Chains A and B, each alone.
Chain A
Amino acid sequence: MSDTGEAARSRSRSEDRELLRRLHEEGDIGARERLVQRHLPLVRALARRYAGRGEPLEDIEQVGAIGLLKAIDRFDPGRDVALATYATPNVVGEIKRHFRDKGWAIRVPRALQELNARMSLTIDRLTSRRGRSPSITEIADELKTTPEQVLEALEVGSAYSTLSLSIGSTNEDDADPLESIGEEDAHFEQSDDRAALEPVLARLPEREREILSLRFEEGLPQTQIAEQVGLSQMHVSRLIRKSLSAMREDLR
Chain B
Amino acid sequence: MPEQITLEAPLDDDFQPVVRLIVGGIATHAAFGFDDLDDLQLAIERLLAEAGADGRVALSFEVRPGAIGVRIGPLHDVGLVEALKSDGILPGGLTLARILQTVVSSFAVEVVGDGDIVVRLEKLAEGS
Contacts and interface: CB of A to CB of B under 8 A. Distances in A.
Interface residues on B, range: 35 or more
B95 A155 contact: no
Contacts of B38: 158, 222, 237
Nearest to A126: B34
A161 B13 contact: yes
A195 B25 CA distance: 28
Interface string A227-252: 00000010001001100110110000
Given A163-B13, A192-B82, A245-B49, A152 B21 contact: yes
A71 interface: no
B113 interface: no
Given A154-B24, A198-B92, A245-B49, A135 B34 contact: yes
Interface string A179-207: 00000000000111111111001000000
A44 interface: no
Interface string B29-68: 0011111111001100110011000000000000000000
Contacts of B82: 191-195
A159 interface: yes
Interface of A: 123, 127, 132-137, 139, 147-148, 151-152, 154-155, 158-159, 161-163, 190-198, 201, 212-213, 215-217, 219, 221-223, 233, 237, 240-241, 244-245, 247-248
B95 A195 contact: yes
Interface of B: 13, 16-17, 20-21, 24-25, 27-28, 31-38, 41-42, 45-46, 49-50, 78-80, 82-84, 90-99, 102, 126-127
B94 A201 contact: yes
Contacts of A213: 92
Interface of B is mostly: helix
Contacts of B127: 132
Contact of A162 (B13, B21, B35, B42): B13
A213 B99 CA distance: 11
A133 B34 CA distance: 6
Given A194-B50, A216-B94, A135 B21 contact: no
A216 B126 contact: no
A230 B96 CA distance: 27
A233 B102 contact: no
Contacts of B31: 135, 137
Nearest to B45: A241
B93 to A, nearest CB: 5
B80 A194 contact: yes
